[in-house]
Amino acid sequence: MATADIKVHTDAHHDDHEHDHEHHGNFWTNYIFCQDHKVIAKQFLITGMAWALIGGILSVIFRLQLGFPEASLEWLRPILGGWITPEGKIDSEFYLALVTMHGTIMVFFVLTAGLSGTFSNFLIPLQVGARDMASGFMNMLSYWFFFLSSAFMFTSLFISTGPAGGGWTVYPPLSALPQAIQGSGLGMTLWLISMALFIVSTLLGGINYITTIINMRTQGMSFTRMPLTIWAFFFTAVIGLLSFPVLFGAALLLIFDRSFGTSFFLSDIYIAGEALPHVGGSPILFQHLFWFLGHPEVYIVLLPALGITSEIIATNSRKPIFGYKAMVGSMLFIAILSFVVWAHHMFVTGMNPFLGSIFTLLTLIIAVPSAVKIFNYVTTLWQGNLRFTSGMLFSIGLVSFFLTGGITGLFLGNSAVDIQLHDTYFVVAHFHLVMGSASFFGMIAGIYHWFPKFFGRMMDERLGGIHFWLTFVGVYMVFFPMHYIGIAGFPRRYYSWTNFEAFSSFTDLNMLVSIAAIITLGAQFIFLFNFFYSIWRGRLAPPNPWGATTLEWTTPRHPQHGNWPGEIPAVYRWAYDYSKPGAKEDYIPQTIPYSETPESNLPHENELVKLEMGNSGAIVAGDKKH
């Protein structure tokens, strides 16, 4: 074979392209209005982390109220000012605003923008082998719309009437009538503006992700050779593209109701004995529209985390992912089902019981693909050469949460059982485990795993281990007791239960939850220290620290604009050739052709090589049997 020729060929390319893709610009074009996907990913990451910190602190403030209802919170007055009542308690309307903001921030700003925005932007071009996103400009707009949206939401935290207080689901009429509570005034307006901008940002991002995955894959990167991360980001973007416009429609109608006097969601409301002019609206209609986004949103949050986990677990078990096609199929199935189960959030809205039974059935079917995924994670781990890196620990943590949280989904998805459990702490426990903590763990796992590619340095593994164990135990200490509290009938979003004698027996459990929440939040500062310290002082990362097969590890330590200095590498195999019998090393990167690994090829792969040899020197036509 023409080994010598081609070496020359490669070297020549090295020289040609090195300078083409070097990116010179000033501070503004390099760091602020940058169109490079890696920089945009970092912008999303840092903004997402800032929001996560704010969201976490808000949750600890309302946990203080719930765990220690008698304690004086006078010491918070320097920060919260008038929101602390003269008796030293949190203002009850501000409590609602805290809960609303915690939900909105965590679901949208952290686990949608922070997770998808970071990892889709970073990994899609690097793992499919593209120089950048399909449209760098749209990608930049996507971040800056998100930033603008963040700015509106952040501003709403500081206005005198407080941020939106109608819950993250913003059900009318509470959210539609400014006179209902303080939080439904300017805070709600800012919430709606912020969400509208957020949706624009998500759609711009999603269009880019899908276009890049479909159209800009490198040679040989067929759909069945894509890493599962890419499949997950793809389904996430498709779900987002189809569901966010519906929320946009709902938000617009709500804006019309609030500011222009229409009656889409309002009807026959009396305030202080006087009838409002709104006639003919339907508040349930908003719930239908909201949950048509709201339920797919759960998977928008979860699927990227599952994709990241698949990749990390396979890499650190040194085994091919078990059931690659089953993983893709189950994600597809979850994506489809996510659009036909929204009404399980509305079982108690007076829905026709027959309709309820249909939604129950559809909801319970989601357990099938979810269980397939859990089994595949476990069977991938089974008898693997496990390496407990920080990323791996958090990935295994995700599998644990996905299981414990998923099982309670079977209870809640049942329309009969839901009558008891609806809007109790059982629901809070369920979704915080399966969607909140699981996705959060996926995000953290991804940061630990791809940190060497983000910043060219390694994070500290020992601090990562401490961070994991404190967070993992902490999360279970927070959310496991909530199941009992929920079954006992505690409703969520209540400021205080001290008026109900029946609930006083759970005071100590609530205190435990609050203490665990404070410890869990505290543990995140270990991570923050590790993160920022390692950016500048971490150990220098080797080119492929985890011995992974995917394309991003073939780039230089600090990939420039354009990612690969020479030609984009071609792909010859799937992403999971770990510990292949007979192979020299325990992984074979995707860029190694089968003809170079005769010792480990399977019979059908040897046939591919024969085909190549037969055409020696010629280019194999694309439509030859594959």
Partner 1 sequence: MSKVDDMKIVEEPRKPLAMNPKKFALWLFMATVVMLFASWTSAYIVRQAEGNWQFFELPGIFTFSTGIILISSITMQIGYFAAKSNSTGRLQLMLIITAVLGVIFLGAQVLGWGDLVSKSVYFVGNPSGSFVYVITGFHGLHIVSALIFLLIVMRSASRDRIHSGNLAQIEMCTTYWHFLGFLWVYLYIFLTINR
Q: Quick one: three-class SS letters along 216-270?
A: CCCCCCCHHHCCHHHHHHHHHHHHHHHHHHHHHHHHHHHHHHHHCCCCCCCCCCE
Query: Which residue of 69, 167, 220, 323 would you call a contact of partner 1, by CB under 8 A?
Result: 220
CA angle 492, 494, 496 (to 5 degrees): 130
CA nearest to 309, candidates 445, 511, 469: 445
**Does residue 3 bind partner 1 (CB under 8 A)?**
yes
Shortest Cβ 245–partner 1 spacing (Å):
4
Task: Report if residue 276 touches partner 1, rule: CB under 8 A.
Answer: no
Question: From the CB of 593, what's the least distance to partner 1, in Å?
Answer: 4
Residue with tokens 């001290």: 498
Among residues 29 and 595, whose Cβ is nearest to partner 1?
595
Q: Which is nearer to partner 1, 217 or 422 (CB)?
A: 217
Judged by beta carbon, residue 285 or residue 487, the one nearer partner 1 is 285
For partner 1, the closer CB: 224 or 498: 224
What tokens appear for 610 in the block? 């024969």
Quote the tokens at residue 24: 């010179």
E strand or H helix at 374: helix 367-381
Binding of partner 1 at residue 1 (CB under 8 A)? Answer: yes
Q: How far is the CB of 418 from partner 1 (least distance, A)?
A: 21
10 binds partner 1 (CB under 8 A): yes
> Which residues 103-142 are close enough to bind partner 1 by CB under 8 A?
134-135, 138
Could you say whether residue 261 binds partner 1 (CB under 8 A)?
A: yes
C-alpha to C-alpha distance for 309 and 484, rounded to whole angstroms: 30
Interface with partner 1, residue 607, by CB under 8 A? no
DSSP 386: -
Residues 92, 282, 379, 496: which binds partner 1 (CB under 8 A)?
Answer: 282
189 binds partner 1 (CB under 8 A): no
**8 Å CB contact between 574 and 608:** no
User: Which residues are registered as beta bridge partners of 424?
Assistant: 491
Among residues 37, 218, 42, the alpha carbon closest in space to that of 130 is found at 218
Range 20-39, binding partner 1 (CB under 8 A)? none
Q: Within 57-86, which residues bind partner 1 (CB under 8 A)?
A: none
Tell me whether residue 252 or residue 361 sits nearer to partner 1 (CB atom).
252
- Cβ proximity to partner 1: between 329 and 556 the closer is 556
- Selected range binding partner 1 among 54-62, 418-426, 503-511, 589-597, rule: CB under 8 A: 589-597
Confirm or reject binding of residue 595 to partner 1 (CB under 8 A): yes
Of 1-9, 90-98, 352-360, 462-470, the window that binds partner 1 (rule: CB under 8 A) is: 1-9
Nearer to partner 1, 288 or 318 (CB): 288
Nearest distance in Å: CB 615, partner 1: 6
Tell how strand 274-275 and strand 270-271 pair up.
antiparallel
Select from 160, 179, 222, 420 the one that contacts partner 1 (CB under 8 A): 222
**Residue choice 249, 465, 522, 545 for contact with partner 1 (CB under 8 A):** 249
Using CB under 8 A, count the residues that bind partner 1: 77
The verdict on 617 binding partner 1 (CB under 8 A) reads yes
In terms of C-beta distances under 8 Å and separation of at least 24 residues, what long-range contacts does 496-501 make, across chains too?
A: 496/65, 496/66, 496/69, 496/92, 497/69, 498/69
C-alpha–C-alpha distance, residues 185 and 625, integer Å: 64
Residue 491's SS3 state is strand
Distance CA 421, CA 489 (A): 7
User: According to CB under 8 A, which residues from 228 to 247 bind partner 1?
Assistant: 241-246
Could you tell me how far CA 391 lies from the centroid of its own chain? 16
Q: Looking only at residues 423 through 462 of this chain, which bind partner 1 when binding is defined by CB under 8 A?
A: none
261 φψ region: left (φ > 0), alpha (ψ -120 to 50), beta (else) = left
Using CB under 8 A, which of the segments 21-29, 249-257, 321-329, 449-457 binds partner 1? 249-257
The window from 86-94, 160-168, 199-207, 321-329 that contacts partner 1 (CB under 8 A) reads 199-207
d(CA 556, CA 47): 26
**Integer angstrom CA distances of residue 495 from 64, 90, 95, 617:** 11, 9, 7, 75
Cβ closest to partner 1, residue 239 vs residue 478 = 239
Give residues 556-575 in contact with partner 1 (rule: CB under 8 A).
Answer: 567, 569-572
CB of 209 to partner 1, least distance (A): 10
Choose, by CB under 8 A, the member of 100, 212, 370, 534 that binds partner 1: 212
- Are the C-beta atoms of residues 446 and 308 closer than 8 Å to each other? yes
